[in-house]
A and B are shown apart, each in its own frame.
Chain A
C-alpha cells in the first residue's frame, strides 16, 4: 500500500505524460473484504508476474464503475450475491467473456449464459441450532414459521442481502402470498428484534437468547477455527442443521467475478478470472473462507467438515435474482425489522 494515489492531480497528469506503466497490471474493484481474496491474488501475481492493484468498495461499487465510464481503470469486478452480479451486467458495466479455460472451469449453471459473470465460490444459508437444546439434525425453511419455535429464533436484519436472497428464493418457491405469510410467521417466532450479524446469531444461541437461527455456512468454520477464543465457543455451541425447502434443496448463493466493460487490461483480467476458477485458485478461495468450490473435487473438504455436503436447491439462480426487489419490499410490508 502506498501514498502514490494521493499525489495531486497535476503531478499525476505529468506522470501519465511520461508514459504509461510498462509492467503488466490488473485493477480489481472488490466488494469482498480484501483479506479474503488477497491470497488468491498473490498466488496469481506469483504465477504470472502480473501486478494486482485492488480497492475494496462496498456500497456503490457498481455506480462508481458506471460513472467512471470509458476511462475507468477497473479490470475485474468482484461481487457477492447473484443478484448483484446480474445487476452489474444489467447496468452495462461488464462485458461478455468467451474464454475456453473459464468455460471449462465453471459449470454452465454457475455463470451468466451471455458470459458477463461467473461464480467463483458457493455458500449455503442454513439454520444454526443449539447443540444442547435442539435434538433434530434437519429442518425445512418452512418450519421456521411453525409456532413451536415461538420466541426461539434469532436472525439478522431482514433487509440484509443474505436474507433478501433467501426470502427471494421463498417467493420463487411458494409464490408471493404464501411467502409473505411465511415471513410473517418467522417474524412472529423471533426471540429479539433482527440485528447484528450471523456470528451474533451463534453467540445468542450460546447465551440462551434463542435456540435456532439463520446464518451462512462459512461463519461456522471461521468461528470454530479462528484465533478468537470467545468466537470458538460460539461456533462450538451450535450445529448446522440440514436445511432445505420442502421438496427442494438448500438455499445457495455465490460470490463471483466479471470483466469490466472498459477494462484497460482485458487479457490480464480474463487470465485472473481463469486463475480464480482453476484448481489452484479454487483450493485457496474455498478453503480460506470455508466456502464450497464451484465444482466437486477441488478443495472444500474443510467446509464439508463443519457444514456437511452441499445440496443446492433446484431453483435457477437467475430466478432468485429476479424476485429480490419483491422480497425486499415484502420485508418492509410485514415490518420484519420493526
Chain B
C-alpha cells in the first residue's frame, strides 16, 4: 500500500490558486480522454442512427408489427432466464468456495472460471451434436429403452428457449462468479462472524450480510453476462431462438434493408441503456467502501462428510456442463481430424493473427478504460459520468451491426487520407485503416471498452472517496491522487480487465469477419469458414485453439482474483464502512 507523504505546505483546499490551476490541468487531460473514448464509441452508434433514419415507412411498419413484438418477447425471456441461471450458478458457487471448506475446494474455485474460455457458439454447436436424435445421448437412451426411432419417445429439444437459456447460462456464469467471488473474498470476517455469533444461520448470514455487500459486483457481472447474451448471434440462431439480434440479420440480409436493421438495432440499444442504467443504480445508490486496513480474510467453515462432497458436486456441475463436456468433445473431434489429415498450416497463422489483434486491442482498451474510469472518479461532474456510460455502450451492440456502423466513419477517414496522398504522389496508398488490421483493433476497442471501464470503475469504487479527500487536503492534485493511490490500489482491477478483454477479443467473430484485411484469418474466422461449409469437424482444431489460448489468461484471471492476493482496496472492514453506506 502506498504511503501518503504529506507535502511540506498543506494549504486549505480552495484557497491555493496555483494548485487549483494545476488540478484543473489534470482534470482537463482526464476530461479530454473521456471525451475521446466516448466519441470513438459514439461514431458507429451515430452512423447507425443516421442509417436508421433513412428507412422507408413500409419497412418500419413491417418491423413494428411482425418482427419486434415476438423478438422483444423472446429476447426478454432469454435475458431473464440467463440472469436467473448465471446468478444462481455464479453467486452460489462463489459463496460456497469462499465461506466453506470442502474436498477439492481450491481446484473447484479455480476451475469454475474455465467456461469463460469457450465461445458460446461453440458450446451451442457441441450440445446440439451431443443431444440430437442421432447423438450419443439419445442413441444410448434408445439402446437402453429399446426404441428404434425418435418418433416413438419424447426427449427435450436442445434447440429451444430452455436449451438456449441453460447453454448460455452455463457458459456466461463466470462473469458473475468472478465479480462476486472477488468481493466475498475480501469481505470482512468480522462482519460474518459477528452475524454468526448473534445466532444467524448460514443462509441468513449469506442473505443479510454477504449478498447485499456483493450487490455492486453482482450487478457488474450480471450486466456483462446479459450484454453478452443480447449481442450473441451464433448460439441463438443455431438454437432457433429469434432474438432481436437474429431479427436484425434477417431484416438486413433478406429484405436488403440496412435501415430496417438499424432501426431494430436502435431498439436494442435502448434495452442496453436500460441494463446499464439498472447496473449503475444497483451499485451507485450506495457506496460500499471501507477502511484501508487489510481485512482479516473470512475463515471458511468446514463442511464435514456428505455435505462436503455435496458442495464439491454442486461446484463440479457447471464446470462439467460449461467446460469439460464441450472441450472433451472438441478434443475428440480435433484428434480424429489431426490423425487423418495432420495439422493444417493456416492454424498457426490464424493463431498469430488472433494473438496480435487481441493483444494490441487489450493494451489500447485498458489504457482508454482506465482513463475513463479515472475521469469519472476524479472529475465529479454529471457530464463525465454520462461520457463514461456512453463509452460502455459498444459492448452491447451486435458485432456485425457495430462493424457496419463503423465501416462508414473508418472508410471516410481512409478515403480522405488516400485521396490526399494520391493528389500529392499520384499513387494510391490503399486503405490505411480497413486495409490493415487497424479497423479490427478499433472495433475491438469500441466493443470491449465497457468491460475495461466498468471493471476498473468498480475496482476504484471500493476505494473510499474519503481517501481522495484526505489526499487532496494534504495537497495532492488529482494526478497525484491517481498515481499514488488509485493506480496501485486498482491494479488487480486493471489486470482483471485486461485479461477479460483479451479473452473476449480472441473469441470475437462478427466484427473481425467484416473488417479484417485481405489474406488474414483469425482462429474465429477460420472456424467460421469451416463451419459454414459444414466442415465443423475440421473447425474443431481451430475451436480448440481458441479455448486453449483463452485458458491461459482465464487461469491468470483466477489468480488475480484469488483470496491469496485480495485487492487491498476492496476491504470492507468495519462497521464504520457500513455506517457510511
Contact = CB atoms under 8 A, between A and B. Distances in A.
Contact of B415 (A69, A157, A199, A325): A69
A35 B534 CA distance: 12
A159 interface: yes
A9 B521 contact: no
Interface stretch (B8-16, B174-182, B429-437): B429-437
A207 interface: yes
6 contacts: A1-B349, A16-B427, A17-B425, A56-B513, A67-B411, A208-B150
Interface of B: 62, 66-67, 70, 128, 132-134, 148-151, 157, 159-160, 237-240, 242, 249-250, 252-258, 340, 345-346, 349-350, 352-353, 356-357, 400, 403-404, 407-408, 410-411, 414-415, 418-419, 421, 425, 427-438, 510, 513-521, 525, 529-530, 532-535, 537
A12 B419 CA distance: 16
Given A72-B431, A208-B151, A228-B537, A9 B239 contact: no
Contacts of A55: 516-520
Nearest to A191: B151
Nearest to A234: B134
A92 interface: no
A54 interface: yes
A182 interface: no
A271 interface: no
B352 A3 contact: yes
Interface of A: 1-9, 12-13, 16-17, 19-20, 27, 33-36, 53-60, 63-64, 67-73, 83, 87, 157, 159, 161, 164, 192-197, 199, 203-204, 206-209, 219, 222, 227-228, 230, 264, 324-325, 328-329, 332-333, 335, 337-338
Contacts of B428: 16, 20, 71, 264
B133 A209 contact: yes
Contacts of A73: 430-431, 435, 518
Contacts of B533: 33, 35-36
B537 A328 contact: no
B134 A33 contact: no
B346 A71 contact: no
Q: Which of A19, A63, A72, A324 has the most CB of B within 10 A?
A: A63
B159 A13 contact: no
A208 B542 CA distance: 32
Contact of A164 (B254, B513, B529, B532): B254
Contacts of A68: 411, 414-415, 431, 434
Nearest to B515: A64
List the 4 closest A-B pairs by CB distance, nearest first. A208-B149, A5-B517, A207-B133, A195-B240
A59 B256 contact: no
B414 A328 contact: no
Q: Which of A17, A27, A195, A206 has the most CB of B within 10 A?
A: A195
A222 B438 CA distance: 38
A161 B255 CA distance: 10
A57 B514 contact: yes
B357 A6 contact: yes
Q: Which of B157, B249, B435 has the most CB of A within 10 A?
A: B435
A1 B159 contact: no
Contacts of B534: 197, 199, 219, 222
Contacts of A57: 513-514
Q: Which of A206, A207, A333 has the most CB of B within 10 A?
A: A207
Nearest to A197: B534
A203 B132 contact: yes
A5 B151 contact: no
A227 B339 CA distance: 13
A63 B438 contact: no
Nearest to A35: B533
A60 B400 contact: yes
B514 A59 contact: yes
